[in-house]
Amino acid sequence: MPKAPRFLASVVAALHRDLRFAPAKTKLRQMDAAEELIGRIRPELLYPMDFVVYRVTGYRPDTDAFDATVVGRALIRDLGVFVQTLSAEIDLPVDRGAGRAIPLDEVAGRLGVARRTLQRRRSRGLVLHWVRDEAGGRYLACFPDALDRFLEGVGTTVREAVPWRRVQDDERQDIVQQAQVMHDETGCSLDAAAVTIAARTGRARSTVRRVLRAHDRQAVQPTFGEHGPLTNRDARLCARAQAMGIPLARCGERFGKSVPAIHRAMLRERVARLESLPLRWIELPILGRVDADEVLLETPLVRSGLPGPDHVIDVVNVVSTPSTTDRERLVAAGHRLVARAANALAGLPGQPTARDVDAIETDLAWTGRIRSALVMEGLPAALQACEHWLGRPVRSLPRDGVMAFLFQCLQVTWDVVEGLEPKLADRLEARCVAAVDRTLATRTPPDPGRAAARHAVGELQTSWPIRELVAWSWLEPRSTWVARVDRLDATDRELISRRWGLDGRRPHRIAELAEADGSTATAAQRRVHAIEIRLRMNR
pLDDT in tens, 406-452: 999 999 999 999 999 999 998 999 999 999 999 998 888 776 666 77
- More confident call, 232 vs 332: 332
| pLDDT at res. 153 | 66
**What is the mean predicted confidence (pLDDT) over 114-133?**
79
Q: Write out the H or E segment, with its range, that includes residue 46.
A: strand 46-48
Domain boundary assignment for the chain:
10-154, 169-218, 232-275, 291-476
- More confident call, 372 vs 14: 372
What percent of the chain stands above pLDDT 90?
35
Q: How far apart are the C-alpha atoms of 529 and 500, rounded to whole Å?
A: 12
Convert the pLDDT of each residue in 33-61 to its tens digit. 988 888 888 888 888 877 888 888 877 66
Q: Write out the H or E segment, with its range, that includes residue 510.
A: helix 510-517
Q: How far apart are the C-alpha atoms of 403 and 410, rounded to whole Å?
A: 10
- More confident call, 9 vs 341: 341
Sign of the dihedral through C-alpha 66, 71, 72, 73: negative
| pLDDT at res. 160 | 47
**What is the mean predicted confidence (pLDDT) over 471-477?**
93
| pLDDT at res. 140 | 85
- In which band, very low, low, confident or very high, does the pLDDT at 386 lie, cut at 50, 70 and 90? very high
Do 126 and 106 meet the contact criterion of CB atoms below 8 Å apart? no
| pTM, to two decimals | 0.64
| pLDDT at res. 114 | 72
| pLDDT for 158 beyond 90 | no
Among 386, 393, 382, 376, CA closest to 321:
376
